[in-house]
Amino acid sequence: MERENDTDDLDSEETEEWVLALGSVLENDGVERAQYLLQRLSHVVTKTGAQLPYAITTPYRNTIPVSQEARMPGDLFMERNIRSLIRWNAMAMVMRANLKDGTLGGHISTFQSSATLYDVGFNYFFRAPTDGHEGDLIYYQGHSAPGIYARSYLEGRFSEEELDSFRQETEGGGLSSYPHPWLMPDYWQFPTVSMGLGPLQAIYQAHIMKYLGSRGLSDPSDRKVWCFAGDGEMDEPESQGAISLAGREGLDNLIFVINCNLQRLDGPVRGNGKIIQELEGVFRGAGWNVIKVIWGRQWDALFEKDRLGLLQRRMDEALDGDYQNYKSRGGEYTREHFFGKYPELASMVEDLTDEQIFRLNRGGHDPYKVYAAYAAAVKHEGQPTVILAKTVKGYGLGLAGEAQNYTHSVKKLDVGALRSFRDRFDIPLSDGDVETVPYYRPPADSPEMVYLRERRAALGGPLPQRRNDLAPLRVPGLEDLSTHLAGTADREVSTTMSFVRILSTLIKDPNIGERIVPIVPDEARTFGMEGMFRQLGIYSSVGQLYQPTDSDQLMFYREDEKGQVMEEGINEGGAFAAWLAAATSWSHNDCPLVPFYVFYSMFGFQRIGDLCWAAGDLQARGFLLGGTSGRTTLNGEGLQHQDGHSHVLASTVPNCVSYDPTYAYELAVIIQHGLREMFELMKPCYYYITVMNENYVQPPLPPGSEEGIIKGLYLLASNSTPKSKRVVQLMGSGTILREVLAAADILKAEFDVDADIWSATSFNELRREGLSVERWNMLHPAETPRVSYVEDCLADTRGPVIAATDYMKTYADQIRPFVPRQYRVLGTDGFGRSDTRGKLRRFFEVDRNYIAVTALSAMVDENLLDAGEVERAIDLLKIDVDKPDPATL
């Protein structure tokens, strides 16, 4: 019996009795009975108002006792040889890239800490997709990529030339620095190197897989999502931010493996504490199954000898900063500072040499312990599992960086260090060979290579691999959306409401209806989508266990196991991650989904921009709807809500196609086109569309305008004639187009100016097209120059060009190089504030009056008008010339 040598113990005999009693319960009635008794006892204590003396952490030791470890079936030595080769080649590829050009970078130490964690997975657990099974999904720690490439090299998937192309991606696609499906579309599945995005994505991946299973769209079978993350990475709010969802939803298809090497980039993760203990508490509190893999087999014998519990006590006491020293300073230091604290402990290791003490291994470097943890994790039901594996950063680098604070950045080893590394891992290279850091791959028929291939063959083939070819969906034609093209006669409707109606039509579509996934972060009522609650149901893995308060209403809050709507709570990052998993389901589940994520546009790109970037990398296909958009259109909500820049942010994602439509028919044309592009033609892009909550009459589709709507600009009203004396071209988007129309009326009525009106559905798309034309012309000087679409549109028109939007001026300004004449832009630079739409538009100088004055001023510049006309307009339209610039307020 373990006895704590504890000075706090007031009555050790009484303690002994309790401990013995519990021991006999454990022996005779099992763990569950013991847990029950402890729970009852804790109820007695907490009834008094006292806090329980223990936290939700367990002692600093492995969760799985030796007696319950599943036994690893394979050949330990063979696997070590293979792992050693992977270690060597991973190190060599980073080093060779930096020998070639010292600026290329790369990481050695991270993979050396996680090599065993991956190896055990590859040898026994990670299943590749096969005909009968979709395979497991694995999120690799981004900067451990060299190790993953090194394994693929041994498997014969990469040549030495390809390894030598690591981080040289511009010419013929070298191996990408980190996992990027955009750059290696047949290989990497998930971009993870932006810390925190892997864990968040993995949780929602597992969630969407359950959703698909529940709705009968795809069989999740026993597929697992494995997410490897760093212990430093767990400090990112995104890493831990969604773990309670995983616990609540009982995502037992999800396994986190946290590589607890106790270090991040600059130094220790928790020098003054213990990251494993901290994470244990956090994850357990969130409802996860926690498996700690702290100690390797070498410690088992010492634990056996630990009759007084002193070893455990010392382990509990030592801090991560101390543990880092034990590995960076070696065996002698560890003997003195760890074991030496208690004489009984020092004598426990008397028989061990310093070298043996140094080799007392950590759990994450012991394949047996790692295997046991993985075996338990894949069997665990009803909860997600987190494996907290203790490792050593820079394992095997010795003096070149093992457990040193600087190890993260080590990219080169000197010859001496290379030789020690070779010796430590028994790489069959001579002293001379080592100097050039060659790759090493044994012959294909060597026992190692045969073993390696057999293991992967048993698990369905090599990994990573990404499915990049899929059968397209049959999407509805524009004629199927004809009711949305016809206009609303005299009924006033917002584009948000128009969108909801289009969505309802799509949901009823016989081909893609069931594939539509509406996603909202607690804003469905804001967007008028609450009708979908009842109609489609909100997905919940347990259905609805209570009666909703509005159950007697037509549109009651209906949760359902087969619900189609995903209502992700007030959690834009999570809702976006759900969208991301749905938008890549075509690749990851062989089941294309068409997700529509509707959110407050201010809390989209601005809040979760890094995920939006990752969506581009992932080749996500789906729609993002920025609701209540426009700095002046969302009138009452003020500075934090009014979005005047999401389109500018959207323009930064190369394959995000974005629109700011004014009319329902534009929206219908854009959505139908997007469906066709993404799901029929399989173009790797996604759509961002802003919708507004301002009501107005929706006109019918002007015949022939479809192409212009898609390209980003079309002539909405041609008011000038060859006889017109004064002509101006006015452009607008979103609701501000309506101000443009009103400005045209003022110009006509008061100044005899004929304004042609252009609806500019996407300045972002116009700019992209213009830039590509400009580039082509530069590179083809001898050929007939091409004409940009903007220039082509304006070719046969007259007068200066004025554009106004509800976004920052830079949004419309983007097409300036392609406008063949004078171009002026109006926009909503500056912080928003609450007021009525009319007042806001005047404040931001984008209302009809400012548009009219701008047009007149531009015409004066071209000598089309007297300067006095601008002054007259300023007077007439009551423009305050001393009003401060809103951009500065």
Ligand X SMILES: Cc1ncc(C[n+]2csc(CCOP(=O)(O)OP(=O)(O)O)c2C)c(N)n1
Site residues for ligand X per CB under 6 A: 110, 113, 141, 143, 193-196, 230-233, 259, 261, 263-265, 269, 393, 408
Q: CB under 8 Å to 468, separation ≥6 — which residues?
A: 185, 186, 587
Q: Taking CB within 5 to 8 Å according to partner kind, which of Mg ion, ligand X, none is near residue 584?
A: none
Residue 166 to residue 145: CA distance in whole angstroms: 10
Query: Which does residue 110 bind out of Mg ion, ligand X, none, counting CB within 5 to 8 angstroms by kind?
Result: ligand X
- Residue (112 or 189) nearer to ligand X, CB: 112
Q: How far is the CB of 265 from ligand X (least distance, A)?
A: 4
Subset of residues 532 to 571 that bind Mg ion, contact rule: CB under 5 A: none
Write down the least CB distance from residue 124 to ligand X, Å.
Answer: 22
Q: Which of 727, 719, 723 is nearest to 856 (CA)?
A: 727
Residue 143 contact, options ligand X, Mg ion, none, Cβ 5-8 Å cut-off depending on partner type:
ligand X
Shortest gap between Cβ of 233 and Mg ion (angstroms)?
7
Among ligand X, Mg ion, none, the one that 233 touches (CB under a kind-dependent 5 to 8 A) is ligand X
Q: How many residues bind Mg ion (CB under 5 A)?
A: 5
Q: Which does 180 bind (CB under 5 to 8 A by kind): ligand X, Mg ion, none?
A: none
Task: List, in order, residues 6 or more apart from 719 with CB less than 8 Å away.
Answer: 744, 748, 754, 755, 756, 757
- Closest CB 231 distance from ligand X, rounded Å: 5
Binding partner of 97, given ligand X, Mg ion, none, CB within 5-8 angstroms per partner class: none
Cα separation, 738 vs 734, whole angstroms: 8
For residue 114, which amino acid is it? S
- Residue 186 or 266: the one with the smaller Cβ distance to Mg ion is 266
Whole-number minimum distance, CB 404 to ligand X, in Å?
A: 12
Shortest distance, CB of residue 194 to Mg ion, whole angstroms?
Answer: 16
Closest distance to ligand X from the beta carbon of 584 (Å): 21
Check binding of 261 to Mg ion (CB under 5 A).
yes
Give the residue with the Cβ less far from ligand X, 257 or 870. 257
**Spatial contact of 271 and 243, defined as CB atoms under 8 Å apart:** no
Residue with tokens 């500072």: 337
**Minimum Å distance from CB 264 to ligand X?**
4
Token readout for 778 is: 């530069």
User: Which of 111, 605 has the CB closer to Mg ion?
Assistant: 111
Positive or negative, the CA dihedral 256, 257, 259, 260 is positive
Tell me how far, at minimum, the Cβ of 202 lies from ligand X, in Å. 15
Least distance CB 612 / ligand X (angstroms): 14
We find the least distance from the C-beta atom of residue 194 to ligand X, in angstroms, to be 5
Beta pairing partners, 390: 260
Of Mg ion, ligand X, none, which one does residue 516 interact with (CB within 5 to 8 Å by kind)? none
Residue 91 interacting entry, from Mg ion, ligand X, none, C-beta within 5 to 8 Å by type: none
CA separation for the pair 743, 729 (Å, rounded): 11
Residue 666 is a binding residue for Mg ion (CB under 5 A): no
Whether the Cβ atoms of residue 138 and residue 121 lie closer than 8 Å to each other: yes
- CA atoms of 378 and 382, how far apart (whole Å): 11
Query: Helix, strand, coil proportions of the chain in percent (round to 5)?
Result: 45, 10, 45
The kind and range of the H/E element at 729 are: strand 727-732
Q: What does residue 469 show for φ and ψ, rounded to 5 degrees?
A: -130, 120
81 binds, options ligand X, Mg ion, none, Cβ within 5 to 8 A by partner type? none
Q: Which ranges constitute the DSSP H helices of 601-645?
A: 605-617
Interatomic CA distance for residues 38 and 42, integer angstroms: 6
- The one-letter code for the residue type at 389 is A
Q: Single out the segment in contact with Mg ion by CB under 5 A; choices: 256-264, 294-302, 479-487, 616-624.
A: 256-264
How far is it, in rounded angstroms, from Cα 592 to Cα 72?
38
236 binds Mg ion (CB under 5 A): no
Which range, of 219-227, 257-265, 383-391, 866-874, touches Mg ion by CB under 5 A?
257-265
* Residue 193 touches which member of Mg ion, ligand X, none, C-beta under 5-8 Å by kind: ligand X
User: Which of ligand X, Mg ion, none has residue 627 at its interface (CB below 5 to 8 Å by kind)?
Assistant: none
Residue 368 CB neighbour total at 10 angstroms: 18
Interface segment toward Mg ion; rule CB under 5 A; list 255-263, 373-381, 579-587, 658-666: 255-263
Cβ closest to ligand X, residue 195 vs residue 578 = 195
What residue number has its CB nearest to ligand X?
230
Closer to ligand X by Cβ: residue 129 or 181: 181
Q: Which is nearer to Mg ion, 231 or 739 (CB)?
A: 231
Alpha-carbon span 228 to 114, nearest angstrom? 9
Dist. CA 32–CA 378, nearest whole Å: 21
The three-class DSSP label of residue 440 is: coil
Distance between CA atoms of residues 125 and 72, nearest Å: 11
The CA distance from 80 to 828, in Å, is 63
Can residue 231 be called a binding residue for Mg ion (CB under 5 A)?
A: yes
Comparison of 550 and 610: residue with beta carbon closer to ligand X: 610
Among Mg ion, ligand X, none, the one that 383 touches (CB under a kind-dependent 5 to 8 A) is none
Nearer to ligand X, 261 or 328 (CB): 261
The CA-atom distances, in angstroms, between 138 and each of 148, 468, 756 are: 12, 16, 55
For the bound state, the minimum distance from the C-beta of residue 235 to Mg ion, rounded and expressed in Å, comes to: 10
Residue type at position 857: S
Judged by CB under 5 A, the stretch of 228-236, 361-369, 395-403, 613-621 that binds Mg ion is: 228-236
Give me the least distance between CB of 645 and ligand X, in Å please: 22
Inter-residue contact 82 to 119 (CB < 8 Å): yes
Among 174, 179, 191, 232, binds Mg ion (CB under 5 A): 232
| Angle at CA of residue 843, ends 663 and 759, nearest 5° | 25
Which of 109/629 has CB closer to Mg ion?
109
> HSE (CB half, 13 Å, CA atoms) of 343?
0
CB 202 → Mg ion: shortest distance, Å? 18
Regarding 230 and contact with Mg ion (CB under 5 A), the answer is yes
- Nearer to Mg ion by Cβ, of 270 and 767: the residue is 270
Burial class (CB in 10 A: 0-12, 13-18, 19+), 117: buried
* Cβ within 8 Å of residue 648, ≥6 positions away: 807, 808, 810, 811
Point out which span in 254-262, 511-519, 689-697, 853-861 binds Mg ion (CB under 5 A).
254-262
Q: Pairing mode, if any, of strands 754-759 and 714-717?
A: antiparallel
Piece in contact with Mg ion (CB under 5 A), picked from 235-243, 261-269, 352-360, 712-720? 261-269
Choose the one of ligand X, Mg ion, none that binds residue 57, judging by a C-beta under 5 to 8 angstroms depending on kind.
Answer: none
285 exposed, middle or buried (CB, 10 Å; 0-12, 13-18, 19+)?
middle
Residue 96 interacts, among ligand X, Mg ion, none and using kind-specific CB cut-offs from 5 to 8 Å, with: none
Query: Of the two residues 200 and 753, which places its CB atom closer to ligand X in the complex?
Result: 200
Instruction: For the CB of residue 422, give the shortest distance to ligand X in the complex, in Å.
Output: 23
CA distance 790 to 770: 7
Spatial distance between the Cα atoms of 45 and 322, rounded to a whole number of angstroms: 35
Read off the amino acid at residue 67: S
Give the interface segment with Mg ion, choosing from 20-28, 78-86, 258-266, 524-532 (CB under 5 A): 258-266
| Count of beta carbons in the 10 Å neighbourhood of residue 164 | 17
Asked whether 120 and 374 are in contact (CB, 8 A), the reply is yes
Other Cβ atoms closer than 10 A to 603: 23
Cβ 232 to ligand X, closest distance in Å?
A: 3
Instruction: Build a one-symbol-per-residue string for 778-817: x at contacts with Mg ion by CB under 5 A, - elsewhere.
Output: ----------------------------------------
CB of 257 to ligand X, least distance (A): 11
Residues forming the site for Mg ion (CB under 5 A): 230-232, 261, 263
